[in-house]
Amino acid sequence: MLVNWHDPAHIYLVCGKTDMRKGIDGLAMVIAENYGLELYSNSLFLFCGGR
């Protein structure tokens, strides 16, 4: 799947610390379950990892 990152419809910043060990599938599940957003909607999702 090719995505045009130059013109996303929306940019979402997930506030708080995110466990980046979840991997891409776990992060996608966070977006779908916690926020009810469509994963393939030409949107950019940004996460903050913590130490």
d(CA 48, CA 39): 18
Angle at 45 between CA 19 and CA 33, to 5 degrees: 65
**Residue ranges of domains in the chain:** 10-49
Number of Cβ within a 10 Å radius of residue 19: 12
Mean pLDDT of 8-12: 88
Residue 1 has pLDDT above 60, yes or no: no
Which is nearest to 45 in space by CA: 19, 21, 1, 24?
24
**pLDDT at 4 (0 to 100):** 65
pLDDT band for position 9 (cuts 50, 70, 90): confident
**pLDDT at 50 (0 to 100):** 75
